[in-house]
Amino acid sequence: MDDNQLDNTKLQSLKSLSTVIYALLALTWVFGVSAIVAVVMVYIKRDEAAGTWLESHFLWQVRTFWYGLLWAVIGGMTLFFGIGWIILMVNVVWCIYRIVKGWLNLNDNKPMYSES
C-alpha cells in the first residue's frame, strides 16, 4: 500500500469515526451518557486528525459538547428564576443545529469553519 492509499484509508477511518461521534452526540437526547463517550473518543483520536480537513470536525464536536454542557448547567441552575426553561430550549436547538450542520458538512467532505 503506497502513502496515498494509506492517507486515504486513514481519512476514511477518521471520517467514519466522526460519523459515529455525531451519532453519539445526537443520541444524547435518548442516552445522556453517549455524549460523554463521544467526547472521550474525540480526545483520544483528535491527534490523528491533526492537519486534515477532519480536524475541524473534531474541534466542532468538542465545542458542541462543552458549550452544550455549560448552557445546560446554566439553564438548570436558573430554572428557579423562570429563565432556565428558555435557556434549556435554546440550548437544545443550538445543539441540534450544530450536530446537523456538522454531519451535513462531513457528508459533503467539507471542513467546518471554512471561509466559503
Q: What is the mean pLDDT of the chain?
A: 91
What is the rounded average pLDDT of the residues 70-87?
Answer: 94
pLDDT at 4: 61
Mention every residue, 6+ apart, whose C-beta is less than 8 A from residue 75.
84, 85, 86, 87, 88, 91
Question: Against a cut of 0.85, is the pTM above it?
Answer: yes
CA distance 23 to 102: 11
Longest CA span, the chain? 61
Task: Provide DSSP, 14-48.
Answer: HHHHHHHHHHHHHGGGT-THHHHHHHHHHHHHHHH
pLDDT at 3: 47
pLDDT at 30: 86
pLDDT at 28 over 50: yes
pLDDT at 69: 95
Low-confidence winner among 29-33, 36-40, 67-71 (lowest mean pLDDT) = 29-33
Sequence-separated contacts (24+) of 37-40 with Cβ below 8 Å: 38/65, 39/65, 39/66
Closest CA to 106 of 20, 7, 3: 20
pLDDT bracket for residue 6 (50, 70, 90): low
pLDDT at 52 over 60: yes
Grid cell 435557556 is found at 87
